[in-house]
Structure 1
Amino acid sequence: MDSEHFSPYRPDGKLYGFVCVVTGATQPVGKAIVTELAAHGAACIYACSTHPDEPYADLASTVNVAYPNTKVIGYPYKTTSEEDTLALIDDVLNSWGRLDVWTSSTGLLGPPSITSTGPKDLYAAFEANSMPAFFALKYAPAAMEKTTKKGSYANAAPKDVPYGSIIIVSSVAGTYGGCWGPAFTMSSHAALGVVRSGVAVLKGTGVRINAITAGQIDVGVDLKGAKMKEMEQGQFPPSTLQSQEAQKRVIGLERAGRPEEVGRVAGFLASGFSSYITGAELRVDGGASVMNPLTVPV
Protein backbone atom coordinates (compact mmCIF):
# COMPACT_ATOMS: atom_id res chain seq x y z
CA MET A 1 0.00 0.00 0.00
CA ASP A 2 3.04 2.30 -0.15
CA SER A 3 1.71 4.11 -3.19
CA GLU A 4 0.22 7.56 -3.63
CA HIS A 5 -2.28 6.04 -6.06
CA PHE A 6 -3.99 4.09 -3.29
CA SER A 7 -4.14 6.78 -0.64
CA PRO A 8 -7.70 7.17 0.65
CA TYR A 9 -6.97 10.88 1.16
CA ARG A 10 -6.52 11.63 -2.53
CA PRO A 11 -8.29 14.91 -3.38
CA ASP A 12 -9.67 13.36 -6.56
CA GLY A 13 -11.38 10.53 -4.69
CA LYS A 14 -10.42 7.58 -2.51
CA LEU A 15 -11.23 5.13 -5.33
CA TYR A 16 -9.80 7.21 -8.17
CA GLY A 17 -8.69 4.96 -11.02
CA PHE A 18 -10.25 1.81 -9.58
CA VAL A 19 -11.92 -0.77 -11.80
CA CYS A 20 -14.77 -2.50 -9.99
CA VAL A 21 -17.26 -5.32 -10.38
CA VAL A 22 -20.60 -5.20 -8.58
CA THR A 23 -22.93 -8.19 -8.87
CA GLY A 24 -26.60 -7.82 -8.08
CA ALA A 25 -26.14 -4.27 -9.35
CA THR A 26 -29.74 -3.70 -10.47
CA GLN A 27 -31.18 -4.48 -7.03
CA PRO A 28 -31.57 -1.66 -4.46
CA VAL A 29 -28.44 -2.49 -2.46
CA GLY A 30 -26.40 -3.12 -5.62
CA LYS A 31 -27.50 0.21 -7.10
CA ALA A 32 -26.45 1.97 -3.92
CA ILE A 33 -23.02 0.33 -4.06
CA VAL A 34 -22.52 1.32 -7.71
CA THR A 35 -23.43 4.92 -6.86
CA GLU A 36 -21.11 4.98 -3.85
CA LEU A 37 -18.11 3.67 -5.81
CA ALA A 38 -18.74 6.21 -8.57
CA ALA A 39 -19.03 9.03 -6.04
CA HIS A 40 -15.46 8.36 -4.92
CA GLY A 41 -13.86 8.39 -8.35
CA ALA A 42 -13.90 4.81 -9.65
CA ALA A 43 -12.88 4.74 -13.30
CA CYS A 44 -15.13 1.86 -14.31
CA ILE A 45 -17.85 -0.20 -12.67
CA TYR A 46 -19.18 -3.39 -14.21
CA ALA A 47 -22.80 -3.42 -13.07
CA CYS A 48 -23.62 -7.12 -13.20
CA SER A 49 -26.74 -9.18 -12.79
CA THR A 50 -27.95 -12.55 -14.01
CA HIS A 51 -30.81 -11.49 -16.26
CA PRO A 52 -30.12 -9.76 -19.60
CA ASP A 53 -33.40 -7.84 -19.46
CA GLU A 54 -32.50 -5.93 -16.29
CA PRO A 55 -32.50 -2.07 -16.57
CA TYR A 56 -28.72 -1.75 -17.02
CA ALA A 57 -29.02 1.30 -19.29
CA ASP A 58 -31.18 3.15 -16.78
CA LEU A 59 -28.68 2.48 -13.99
CA ALA A 60 -25.72 3.60 -16.10
CA SER A 61 -27.41 6.80 -17.27
CA THR A 62 -28.58 7.69 -13.77
CA VAL A 63 -25.10 7.28 -12.27
CA ASN A 64 -23.36 9.02 -15.17
CA VAL A 65 -25.51 12.13 -14.81
CA ALA A 66 -23.98 12.68 -11.37
CA TYR A 67 -20.55 11.17 -12.08
CA PRO A 68 -19.85 11.52 -15.82
CA ASN A 69 -16.20 10.38 -15.58
CA THR A 70 -17.09 6.99 -14.15
CA LYS A 71 -17.95 4.50 -16.87
CA VAL A 72 -20.75 2.15 -15.78
CA ILE A 73 -21.03 -0.96 -17.92
CA GLY A 74 -24.16 -3.07 -17.70
CA TYR A 75 -23.01 -6.66 -17.84
CA PRO A 76 -25.44 -9.60 -17.68
CA TYR A 77 -23.86 -12.88 -16.67
CA LYS A 78 -24.82 -15.87 -14.57
CA THR A 79 -23.22 -15.16 -11.20
CA THR A 80 -23.29 -18.84 -10.22
CA SER A 81 -21.38 -19.91 -13.35
CA GLU A 82 -17.65 -20.55 -13.15
CA GLU A 83 -17.26 -20.08 -16.91
CA ASP A 84 -19.16 -16.79 -16.91
CA THR A 85 -17.10 -15.49 -14.00
CA LEU A 86 -13.85 -16.27 -15.80
CA ALA A 87 -15.17 -14.64 -18.99
CA LEU A 88 -16.04 -11.48 -17.07
CA ILE A 89 -12.57 -11.29 -15.52
CA ASP A 90 -10.96 -11.76 -18.93
CA ASP A 91 -13.13 -8.97 -20.31
CA VAL A 92 -12.16 -6.64 -17.47
CA LEU A 93 -8.43 -7.27 -17.88
CA ASN A 94 -8.49 -7.04 -21.68
CA SER A 95 -10.36 -3.74 -21.51
CA TRP A 96 -8.75 -2.05 -18.51
CA GLY A 97 -5.66 -4.04 -17.53
CA ARG A 98 -6.61 -4.04 -13.86
CA LEU A 99 -9.22 -5.12 -11.33
CA ASP A 100 -9.42 -3.57 -7.87
CA VAL A 101 -12.79 -4.23 -6.25
CA TRP A 102 -15.24 -7.13 -6.45
CA THR A 103 -18.51 -6.74 -4.60
CA SER A 104 -20.76 -9.80 -4.51
CA SER A 105 -24.25 -8.60 -3.68
CA THR A 106 -26.43 -11.57 -4.52
CA GLY A 107 -29.12 -13.29 -2.50
CA LEU A 108 -32.04 -15.66 -2.50
CA LEU A 109 -34.42 -15.88 0.46
CA GLY A 110 -36.01 -19.22 -0.40
CA PRO A 111 -38.95 -20.70 1.52
CA PRO A 112 -39.75 -19.23 4.95
CA SER A 113 -40.27 -22.55 6.77
CA ILE A 114 -38.68 -25.99 7.01
CA THR A 115 -41.91 -27.68 5.95
CA SER A 116 -41.88 -25.83 2.64
CA THR A 117 -38.14 -26.39 2.08
CA GLY A 118 -36.98 -29.27 -0.07
CA PRO A 119 -33.52 -30.35 -1.21
CA LYS A 120 -33.85 -28.33 -4.42
CA ASP A 121 -34.59 -25.19 -2.39
CA LEU A 122 -31.52 -25.79 -0.25
CA TYR A 123 -29.28 -26.34 -3.27
CA ALA A 124 -30.64 -23.18 -4.89
CA ALA A 125 -29.99 -21.14 -1.74
CA PHE A 126 -26.39 -22.33 -1.42
CA GLU A 127 -25.79 -21.71 -5.11
CA ALA A 128 -27.18 -18.17 -5.03
CA ASN A 129 -25.87 -17.05 -1.63
CA SER A 130 -22.42 -18.62 -1.41
CA MET A 131 -21.26 -19.76 -4.86
CA PRO A 132 -20.67 -16.22 -6.25
CA ALA A 133 -18.55 -15.45 -3.18
CA PHE A 134 -16.55 -18.64 -3.73
CA PHE A 135 -15.87 -17.78 -7.37
CA ALA A 136 -14.81 -14.26 -6.38
CA LEU A 137 -12.32 -15.65 -3.86
CA LYS A 138 -10.98 -18.25 -6.28
CA TYR A 139 -10.56 -16.16 -9.42
CA ALA A 140 -10.55 -12.42 -8.71
CA PRO A 141 -7.27 -12.23 -6.72
CA ALA A 142 -5.01 -13.21 -9.63
CA ALA A 143 -6.50 -10.35 -11.66
CA MET A 144 -6.21 -7.93 -8.73
CA GLU A 145 -2.49 -8.66 -8.37
CA LYS A 146 -1.76 -7.33 -11.87
CA THR A 147 -0.23 -3.88 -12.12
CA THR A 148 -0.53 -1.53 -15.07
CA LYS A 149 0.49 1.88 -16.39
CA LYS A 150 -1.92 4.79 -16.46
CA GLY A 151 -4.60 4.32 -19.11
CA SER A 152 -6.01 6.91 -21.52
CA TYR A 153 -9.56 6.91 -20.14
CA ALA A 154 -11.33 9.24 -17.70
CA ASN A 155 -10.38 8.93 -14.02
CA ALA A 156 -7.35 6.83 -15.00
CA ALA A 157 -4.50 6.19 -12.60
CA PRO A 158 -1.57 3.77 -12.70
CA LYS A 159 -1.64 0.65 -10.59
CA ASP A 160 1.87 0.21 -9.26
CA VAL A 161 1.20 -2.20 -6.38
CA PRO A 162 -0.97 -5.32 -6.08
CA TYR A 163 -4.25 -4.35 -4.48
CA GLY A 164 -7.72 -5.78 -4.23
CA SER A 165 -10.79 -5.78 -2.05
CA ILE A 166 -13.43 -8.51 -2.21
CA ILE A 167 -16.67 -7.56 -0.45
CA ILE A 168 -19.37 -10.13 0.21
CA VAL A 169 -22.76 -8.61 0.98
CA SER A 170 -24.77 -11.08 3.02
CA SER A 171 -27.24 -11.10 5.89
CA VAL A 172 -27.13 -11.23 9.67
CA ALA A 173 -28.67 -14.67 9.05
CA GLY A 174 -25.04 -15.69 8.56
CA THR A 175 -24.36 -15.12 12.26
CA TYR A 176 -27.52 -16.32 14.00
CA GLY A 177 -30.78 -18.11 13.30
CA GLY A 178 -34.37 -16.98 13.21
CA CYS A 179 -34.03 -14.69 10.20
CA TRP A 180 -36.49 -15.85 7.53
CA GLY A 181 -36.14 -19.59 6.70
CA PRO A 182 -33.53 -22.28 7.39
CA ALA A 183 -32.19 -22.43 3.82
CA PHE A 184 -31.45 -18.70 3.92
CA THR A 185 -29.72 -19.02 7.29
CA MET A 186 -27.62 -22.05 6.27
CA SER A 187 -26.47 -20.55 2.98
CA SER A 188 -25.72 -17.16 4.58
CA HIS A 189 -23.47 -18.96 7.07
CA ALA A 190 -21.68 -20.52 4.09
CA ALA A 191 -21.09 -17.09 2.53
CA LEU A 192 -19.48 -15.92 5.76
CA GLY A 193 -17.39 -19.10 5.71
CA VAL A 194 -15.98 -18.04 2.34
CA VAL A 195 -14.82 -14.78 3.89
CA ARG A 196 -13.22 -16.41 6.91
CA SER A 197 -11.45 -19.09 4.91
CA GLY A 198 -10.32 -16.46 2.44
CA VAL A 199 -7.85 -14.77 4.78
CA ALA A 200 -5.37 -17.67 4.62
CA VAL A 201 -6.05 -18.18 0.92
CA LEU A 202 -5.11 -14.55 0.17
CA LYS A 203 -1.89 -14.38 2.19
CA GLY A 204 0.80 -12.63 0.19
CA THR A 205 -1.49 -11.36 -2.57
CA GLY A 206 -2.29 -7.84 -1.34
CA VAL A 207 -5.99 -8.71 -1.60
CA ARG A 208 -8.44 -8.42 1.29
CA ILE A 209 -11.83 -10.06 1.76
CA ASN A 210 -14.60 -8.90 4.09
CA ALA A 211 -18.32 -9.34 4.64
CA ILE A 212 -21.15 -6.90 5.14
CA THR A 213 -23.96 -8.60 7.04
CA ALA A 214 -27.12 -6.59 6.74
CA GLY A 215 -30.11 -6.60 9.05
CA GLN A 216 -33.50 -5.14 8.26
CA ILE A 217 -32.94 -3.13 5.07
CA ASP A 218 -35.84 -1.37 3.42
CA VAL A 219 -35.51 -2.45 -0.21
CA GLY A 220 -39.01 -1.40 -1.16
CA VAL A 221 -40.69 -4.80 -0.82
CA ASP A 222 -44.15 -4.56 0.71
CA LEU A 223 -45.66 -7.63 2.32
CA LYS A 224 -49.14 -6.57 1.25
CA GLY A 225 -48.32 -6.35 -2.45
CA ALA A 226 -45.95 -9.28 -2.92
CA LYS A 227 -46.86 -12.92 -3.41
CA MET A 228 -44.94 -15.50 -1.40
CA LYS A 229 -43.19 -16.98 -4.46
CA GLU A 230 -42.00 -13.54 -5.54
CA MET A 231 -40.85 -12.76 -2.02
CA GLU A 232 -38.77 -15.95 -1.88
CA GLN A 233 -36.70 -14.59 -4.79
CA GLY A 234 -35.66 -11.50 -2.80
CA GLN A 235 -32.25 -10.70 -1.38
CA PHE A 236 -33.36 -9.70 2.12
CA PRO A 237 -36.49 -10.29 4.20
CA PRO A 238 -38.94 -7.40 3.77
CA SER A 239 -38.42 -4.78 6.45
CA THR A 240 -42.19 -4.71 6.89
CA LEU A 241 -41.91 -8.11 8.57
CA GLN A 242 -41.39 -5.95 11.62
CA SER A 243 -43.88 -3.22 12.44
CA GLN A 244 -42.53 0.23 13.23
CA GLU A 245 -43.35 -0.44 16.86
CA ALA A 246 -41.31 -3.65 16.79
CA GLN A 247 -38.42 -1.90 15.04
CA LYS A 248 -38.33 0.74 17.74
CA ARG A 249 -38.32 -1.97 20.38
CA VAL A 250 -35.67 -4.36 19.00
CA ILE A 251 -33.42 -2.20 16.79
CA GLY A 252 -30.97 0.10 18.53
CA LEU A 253 -31.51 2.86 15.97
CA GLU A 254 -35.26 2.19 15.99
CA ARG A 255 -35.73 1.83 12.23
CA ALA A 256 -34.91 -0.28 9.21
CA GLY A 257 -31.75 0.55 7.30
CA ARG A 258 -31.52 2.03 3.82
CA PRO A 259 -29.64 0.60 0.80
CA GLU A 260 -27.28 3.57 0.71
CA GLU A 261 -26.23 2.83 4.28
CA VAL A 262 -24.99 -0.56 3.09
CA GLY A 263 -23.37 1.12 0.07
CA ARG A 264 -21.33 3.45 2.28
CA VAL A 265 -19.83 0.52 4.15
CA ALA A 266 -18.93 -1.10 0.81
CA GLY A 267 -17.17 2.11 -0.19
CA PHE A 268 -15.16 2.03 3.03
CA LEU A 269 -14.15 -1.62 2.53
CA ALA A 270 -13.20 -0.94 -1.09
CA SER A 271 -10.79 1.81 -0.14
CA GLY A 272 -7.48 2.17 1.63
CA PHE A 273 -9.32 3.41 4.72
CA SER A 274 -9.84 -0.28 5.55
CA SER A 275 -6.31 -1.36 4.64
CA TYR A 276 -5.82 -3.43 7.83
CA ILE A 277 -9.22 -5.09 7.77
CA THR A 278 -9.61 -8.55 6.29
CA GLY A 279 -11.72 -11.55 7.25
CA ALA A 280 -14.07 -9.23 9.10
CA GLU A 281 -17.82 -9.09 9.30
CA LEU A 282 -19.17 -5.55 9.41
CA ARG A 283 -22.70 -5.78 10.70
CA VAL A 284 -25.08 -3.16 9.31
CA ASP A 285 -28.21 -3.79 11.35
CA GLY A 286 -28.79 -0.72 13.49
CA GLY A 287 -27.67 -2.61 16.57
CA ALA A 288 -30.48 -5.16 16.39
CA SER A 289 -28.24 -8.20 16.86
CA VAL A 290 -26.95 -6.94 20.21
CA MET A 291 -30.41 -5.86 21.35
CA ASN A 292 -31.94 -9.32 20.97
CA PRO A 293 -33.19 -10.81 23.12
CA LEU A 294 -34.21 -7.51 24.67
CA THR A 295 -34.28 -7.70 28.45
CA VAL A 296 -36.44 -5.09 30.12
CA PRO A 297 -35.58 -4.45 33.78
CA VAL A 298 -38.44 -5.20 36.14
Structure 2
Amino acid sequence: MQLDGLTAVITGAATGIGRASARLFCAEGAKVVIADINEKDGEATAEEIRATGGSAIFARTDLTRLEELKAAVGMAVSRFGRLDILFHNAGVAGPGRLSLTTEDAYDQIMAIHMKAGFFGAKFAAAEMAKTGGGSILFTGSGLGLRPSGQSPAYSASKAGLLMLTRSLAVGLAADGIRVNAICPGPIDTTPLWKGVLERNPEIESKAYAEMNRQVRPIKRMGNPEEMARAALFLVSPGSSYITGVALPVDGGGSMS
Protein backbone atom coordinates (compact mmCIF):
# COMPACT_ATOMS: atom_id res chain seq x y z
CA MET A 1 0.00 0.00 0.00
CA GLN A 2 2.58 2.52 -1.14
CA LEU A 3 0.02 5.31 -1.63
CA ASP A 4 -2.20 4.62 1.37
CA GLY A 5 -4.11 7.75 2.38
CA LEU A 6 -3.01 9.80 -0.64
CA THR A 7 -5.17 11.44 -3.30
CA ALA A 8 -4.22 11.65 -6.98
CA VAL A 9 -5.52 13.35 -10.10
CA ILE A 10 -4.56 11.52 -13.30
CA THR A 11 -5.27 13.16 -16.65
CA GLY A 12 -5.96 10.95 -19.63
CA ALA A 13 -6.87 8.07 -17.34
CA ALA A 14 -9.79 6.68 -19.34
CA THR A 15 -7.51 4.51 -21.47
CA GLY A 16 -3.92 3.39 -21.94
CA ILE A 17 -1.17 4.37 -19.54
CA GLY A 18 -3.48 6.59 -17.51
CA ARG A 19 -6.02 3.82 -17.02
CA ALA A 20 -3.34 1.33 -15.97
CA SER A 21 -1.94 3.92 -13.56
CA ALA A 22 -5.34 4.69 -12.04
CA ARG A 23 -5.89 0.99 -11.40
CA LEU A 24 -2.44 0.52 -9.88
CA PHE A 25 -2.52 3.68 -7.76
CA CYS A 26 -5.88 2.63 -6.31
CA ALA A 27 -4.60 -0.89 -5.65
CA GLU A 28 -1.78 0.77 -3.70
CA GLY A 29 -4.23 2.69 -1.52
CA ALA A 30 -4.74 5.99 -3.33
CA LYS A 31 -8.00 7.76 -4.02
CA VAL A 32 -8.01 8.81 -7.66
CA VAL A 33 -9.78 11.39 -9.79
CA ILE A 34 -9.86 10.23 -13.42
CA ALA A 35 -9.70 13.44 -15.48
CA ASP A 36 -10.48 12.77 -19.13
CA ILE A 37 -12.69 14.01 -21.96
CA ASN A 38 -13.63 10.39 -22.79
CA GLU A 39 -16.78 9.92 -20.71
CA LYS A 40 -17.60 6.34 -21.67
CA ASP A 41 -14.20 4.84 -20.87
CA GLY A 42 -13.56 7.20 -17.96
CA GLU A 43 -16.74 6.17 -16.19
CA ALA A 44 -16.07 2.50 -16.97
CA THR A 45 -12.57 2.74 -15.49
CA ALA A 46 -13.87 4.36 -12.32
CA GLU A 47 -16.62 1.75 -11.98
CA GLU A 48 -14.15 -1.10 -12.48
CA ILE A 49 -11.87 0.29 -9.76
CA ARG A 50 -14.75 0.70 -7.32
CA ALA A 51 -15.96 -2.84 -8.06
CA THR A 52 -12.61 -4.18 -6.90
CA GLY A 53 -12.66 -2.17 -3.67
CA GLY A 54 -10.75 0.90 -4.84
CA SER A 55 -11.74 4.54 -4.61
CA ALA A 56 -12.05 6.43 -7.89
CA ILE A 57 -14.30 9.06 -9.44
CA PHE A 58 -14.52 10.37 -12.98
CA ALA A 59 -14.32 14.06 -13.82
CA ARG A 60 -15.04 14.95 -17.45
CA THR A 61 -12.18 17.27 -18.30
CA ASP A 62 -11.35 19.03 -21.54
CA LEU A 63 -7.69 19.89 -21.02
CA THR A 64 -7.86 22.72 -23.54
CA ARG A 65 -10.16 24.51 -21.05
CA LEU A 66 -8.22 25.50 -17.96
CA GLU A 67 -11.33 25.99 -15.85
CA GLU A 68 -12.15 22.29 -16.29
CA LEU A 69 -8.64 21.25 -15.26
CA LYS A 70 -8.89 23.47 -12.20
CA ALA A 71 -12.27 21.92 -11.42
CA ALA A 72 -10.77 18.41 -11.50
CA VAL A 73 -8.16 19.48 -8.94
CA GLY A 74 -10.92 21.06 -6.88
CA MET A 75 -12.96 17.85 -7.05
CA ALA A 76 -10.08 15.88 -5.54
CA VAL A 77 -9.91 18.27 -2.60
CA SER A 78 -13.67 18.54 -2.08
CA ARG A 79 -14.31 14.78 -2.29
CA PHE A 80 -11.18 13.42 -0.61
CA GLY A 81 -9.94 16.33 1.51
CA ARG A 82 -6.51 16.84 -0.06
CA LEU A 83 -4.35 16.46 -3.15
CA ASP A 84 -0.99 14.68 -3.01
CA ILE A 85 -0.30 13.60 -6.59
CA LEU A 86 -0.87 15.10 -10.02
CA PHE A 87 -0.01 12.78 -12.90
CA HIS A 88 -0.43 14.76 -16.11
CA ASN A 89 -0.45 11.86 -18.53
CA ALA A 90 -2.93 12.93 -21.22
CA GLY A 91 -1.55 13.21 -24.71
CA VAL A 92 -2.31 13.20 -28.41
CA ALA A 93 -0.25 11.90 -31.31
CA GLY A 94 -0.45 15.19 -33.14
CA PRO A 95 -0.40 15.93 -36.85
CA GLY A 96 2.84 14.24 -37.86
CA ARG A 97 5.20 15.79 -40.37
CA LEU A 98 5.82 19.52 -40.72
CA SER A 99 3.98 19.65 -44.04
CA LEU A 100 0.84 18.22 -42.38
CA THR A 101 0.86 20.53 -39.36
CA THR A 102 -1.88 23.16 -39.31
CA GLU A 103 -2.12 25.98 -36.81
CA ASP A 104 -5.09 24.31 -35.12
CA ALA A 105 -3.25 20.99 -34.79
CA TYR A 106 -0.18 22.74 -33.39
CA ASP A 107 -2.28 24.69 -30.88
CA GLN A 108 -4.08 21.51 -29.77
CA ILE A 109 -0.94 19.51 -29.04
CA MET A 110 0.69 22.40 -27.20
CA ALA A 111 -2.49 23.02 -25.20
CA ILE A 112 -2.89 19.41 -24.09
CA HIS A 113 0.76 18.68 -23.39
CA MET A 114 2.40 21.95 -22.34
CA LYS A 115 -0.32 24.39 -21.32
CA ALA A 116 -2.34 21.84 -19.34
CA GLY A 117 0.87 20.56 -17.77
CA PHE A 118 1.96 24.04 -16.74
CA PHE A 119 -1.36 25.16 -15.29
CA GLY A 120 -2.24 21.75 -13.91
CA ALA A 121 0.96 21.99 -11.90
CA LYS A 122 0.04 25.50 -10.81
CA PHE A 123 -3.40 24.45 -9.57
CA ALA A 124 -2.11 21.26 -7.94
CA ALA A 125 0.92 22.84 -6.27
CA ALA A 126 -1.28 25.37 -4.49
CA GLU A 127 -3.23 22.54 -2.85
CA MET A 128 -0.18 20.36 -2.13
CA ALA A 129 1.57 23.21 -0.34
CA LYS A 130 -1.30 23.34 2.17
CA THR A 131 -0.58 19.79 3.38
CA GLY A 132 3.21 19.83 3.32
CA GLY A 133 4.00 18.77 -0.21
CA GLY A 134 3.33 16.17 -2.85
CA SER A 135 4.42 14.82 -6.21
CA ILE A 136 3.85 16.02 -9.77
CA LEU A 137 4.56 13.64 -12.63
CA PHE A 138 4.45 14.28 -16.37
CA THR A 139 4.31 11.80 -19.20
CA GLY A 140 7.07 12.92 -21.51
CA SER A 141 8.35 10.77 -24.36
CA GLY A 142 11.46 9.28 -25.82
CA LEU A 143 10.78 11.77 -28.61
CA GLY A 144 11.19 14.58 -26.11
CA LEU A 145 14.69 13.29 -25.38
CA ARG A 146 15.69 13.08 -29.04
CA PRO A 147 14.23 14.71 -32.15
CA SER A 148 11.57 13.25 -34.39
CA GLY A 149 11.52 14.25 -38.04
CA GLN A 150 8.19 12.44 -38.32
CA SER A 151 6.50 14.69 -35.74
CA PRO A 152 8.31 17.91 -34.85
CA ALA A 153 5.35 19.42 -32.98
CA TYR A 154 5.06 16.31 -30.80
CA SER A 155 8.79 16.30 -30.05
CA ALA A 156 8.79 20.01 -29.25
CA SER A 157 5.83 19.71 -26.88
CA LYS A 158 7.33 16.76 -25.02
CA ALA A 159 10.77 18.39 -24.83
CA GLY A 160 9.04 21.41 -23.34
CA LEU A 161 7.45 19.19 -20.69
CA LEU A 162 10.88 17.90 -19.69
CA MET A 163 12.24 21.42 -19.21
CA LEU A 164 9.08 22.26 -17.28
CA THR A 165 9.80 19.22 -15.09
CA ARG A 166 13.25 20.50 -14.21
CA SER A 167 12.13 24.09 -13.73
CA LEU A 168 9.30 23.13 -11.38
CA ALA A 169 11.52 20.68 -9.50
CA VAL A 170 13.76 23.62 -8.62
CA GLY A 171 10.95 26.08 -8.00
CA LEU A 172 8.67 23.87 -5.89
CA ALA A 173 11.22 22.02 -3.77
CA ALA A 174 10.85 24.48 -0.89
CA ASP A 175 7.16 23.53 -0.67
CA GLY A 176 8.00 19.83 -0.39
CA ILE A 177 6.82 19.10 -3.94
CA ARG A 178 8.82 16.75 -6.15
CA VAL A 179 8.46 16.93 -9.94
CA ASN A 180 9.50 14.16 -12.32
CA ALA A 181 8.66 12.72 -15.74
CA ILE A 182 8.49 9.30 -17.34
CA CYS A 183 9.49 9.04 -21.00
CA PRO A 184 7.73 6.06 -22.57
CA GLY A 185 8.63 4.44 -25.83
CA PRO A 186 5.80 3.34 -28.15
CA ILE A 187 3.04 1.40 -26.40
CA ASP A 188 1.24 -0.58 -29.05
CA THR A 189 -2.10 -1.06 -27.28
CA THR A 190 -2.90 2.61 -26.64
CA PRO A 191 -5.08 5.08 -28.56
CA LEU A 192 -2.02 7.33 -28.98
CA TRP A 193 -0.14 4.60 -30.85
CA LYS A 194 -3.18 4.09 -33.06
CA GLY A 195 -3.11 7.82 -33.76
CA VAL A 196 0.57 7.63 -34.75
CA LEU A 197 -0.27 4.99 -37.36
CA GLU A 198 -3.36 6.78 -38.65
CA ARG A 199 -1.63 10.14 -39.18
CA ASN A 200 0.76 8.52 -41.69
CA PRO A 201 -1.45 6.25 -43.83
CA GLU A 202 1.41 5.47 -46.22
CA ILE A 203 3.26 3.66 -43.42
CA GLU A 204 2.60 -0.08 -43.27
CA SER A 205 1.64 -0.52 -39.61
CA LYS A 206 3.11 -3.98 -39.04
CA ALA A 207 6.44 -3.01 -40.57
CA TYR A 208 6.53 0.21 -38.56
CA ALA A 209 5.79 -1.63 -35.32
CA GLU A 210 8.49 -4.19 -36.11
CA MET A 211 11.01 -1.43 -36.77
CA ASN A 212 10.17 0.08 -33.37
CA ARG A 213 10.77 -3.28 -31.74
CA GLN A 214 14.07 -3.94 -33.47
CA VAL A 215 15.68 -0.58 -32.66
CA ARG A 216 15.35 -1.32 -28.94
CA PRO A 217 17.87 -3.50 -27.11
CA ILE A 218 14.96 -5.32 -25.41
CA LYS A 219 13.41 -6.00 -28.86
CA ARG A 220 9.80 -5.36 -28.00
CA MET A 221 7.36 -2.54 -27.38
CA GLY A 222 6.11 -1.71 -23.92
CA ASN A 223 2.70 -2.07 -22.29
CA PRO A 224 0.64 0.31 -20.16
CA GLU A 225 1.20 -1.66 -16.97
CA GLU A 226 4.97 -1.24 -17.27
CA MET A 227 4.56 2.52 -17.58
CA ALA A 228 2.20 2.52 -14.59
CA ARG A 229 4.77 0.76 -12.41
CA ALA A 230 7.38 3.36 -13.30
CA ALA A 231 4.88 6.12 -12.54
CA LEU A 232 4.04 4.53 -9.19
CA PHE A 233 7.69 4.52 -8.18
CA LEU A 234 8.18 8.20 -9.02
CA VAL A 235 5.09 9.42 -7.15
CA SER A 236 5.54 7.14 -4.13
CA PRO A 237 7.48 7.83 -0.92
CA GLY A 238 10.02 5.28 -2.15
CA SER A 239 11.44 7.93 -4.49
CA SER A 240 11.53 10.67 -1.84
CA TYR A 241 15.06 11.80 -2.81
CA ILE A 242 14.34 11.99 -6.55
CA THR A 243 13.22 15.18 -8.29
CA GLY A 244 13.79 16.74 -11.69
CA VAL A 245 14.29 13.36 -13.36
CA ALA A 246 13.17 12.37 -16.87
CA LEU A 247 13.13 8.57 -16.70
CA PRO A 248 13.20 6.68 -20.02
CA VAL A 249 10.87 3.66 -19.90
CA ASP A 250 11.41 2.53 -23.45
CA GLY A 251 13.28 -0.76 -23.61
CA GLY A 252 16.51 1.13 -24.23
CA GLY A 253 15.17 3.00 -27.25
CA SER A 254 16.59 6.35 -26.17
CA MET A 255 20.08 4.86 -26.43
CA SER A 256 19.65 3.36 -29.89
Q: Partner of 1:140 in structure 2?
A: 124
| 2:182 equivalent to 1:182 | no
Give CA-to-partner distance per residue, 1:106-151, whole Å, 9 cap, x none: 112222211111222222211111112101221211211223xxxx
Q: 2:238 and 2:206 mapped to 1: Cα distance?
A: 34
User: CA contact under 8 A between 2:214 and 2:220: conserved in structure 1?
Assistant: no
Q: 2:162 and 2:192 mapped to 1: Cα distance?
A: 28
Q: Partner of 2:232 in structure 1?
A: 267
| 2:234 equivalent to 1:278 | no
Q: 1:284 to 1:186 in 2, by over 3 A?
A: same
The structural deviation recorded for 1:241 is: 6.0
Q: 1:96 and 1:222 mapped to 2: Cα distance?
A: 30
Q: 2:220 and 2:101 mapped to 1: Cα distance?
A: 30
| 2:88 equivalent to 1:118 | no
| 2:38 equivalent to 1:45 | no
Q: Partner of 1:88 in structure 2?
A: 72
Q: Partner of 2:42 in structure 1?
A: 56
Aligned residues: 252
Q: 1:241 and 1:170 mapped to 2: Cα distance?
A: 25
Q: 1:63 to 1:45 in 2, by over 3 A?
A: same
User: CA contact under 8 A between 2:93 and 2:195: conserved in structure 1?
Assistant: no
The structural deviation recorded for 1:15 is: 0.4
Q: SS of the residue aligned with 2:26?
A: helix
- The percentage of counterpart residues that share the same residue type is 30
The match for 1:173 among 140, 143, 147 is 143
Q: Partner of 1:155 in structure 2?
A: none
Q: 1:221 to 1:80 in 2, by over 3 A?
A: closer
Unpaired runs of 5+ residues, structure 2, are none
Q: SS of the residue aligned with 1:14?
A: coil
TM norm structure 2: 0.90
Q: 1:78 to 1:130 in 2, by over 3 A?
A: same
Structure 1 consecutive aligned stretches of length 4 or more whose deviation exceeds 6 Å: none
Unpaired runs of 5+ residues, structure 1, are 1-12, 148-161, 233-237, 292-298
Q: 2:77 and 2:149 mapped to 1: Cα distance?
A: 39
User: CA contact under 8 A between 1:136 and 1:166: conserved in structure 2?
Assistant: no
User: CA contact under 8 A between 1:141 and 1:207: conserved in structure 2?
Assistant: yes
Q: Partner of 2:4 in structure 1?
A: 16
Q: 1:222 to 1:276 in 2, by over 3 A?
A: closer
Q: 1:131 and 1:221 mapped to 2: Cα distance?
A: 21
Aligned residues: CA RMSD: 2.3
Q: SS of the residue aligned with 2:83?
A: coil
Q: 1:262 and 1:204 mapped to 2: Cα distance?
A: 28
Q: Partner of 1:128 in structure 2?
A: 112
Q: 2:198 and 2:20 mapped to 1: Cα distance?
A: 21
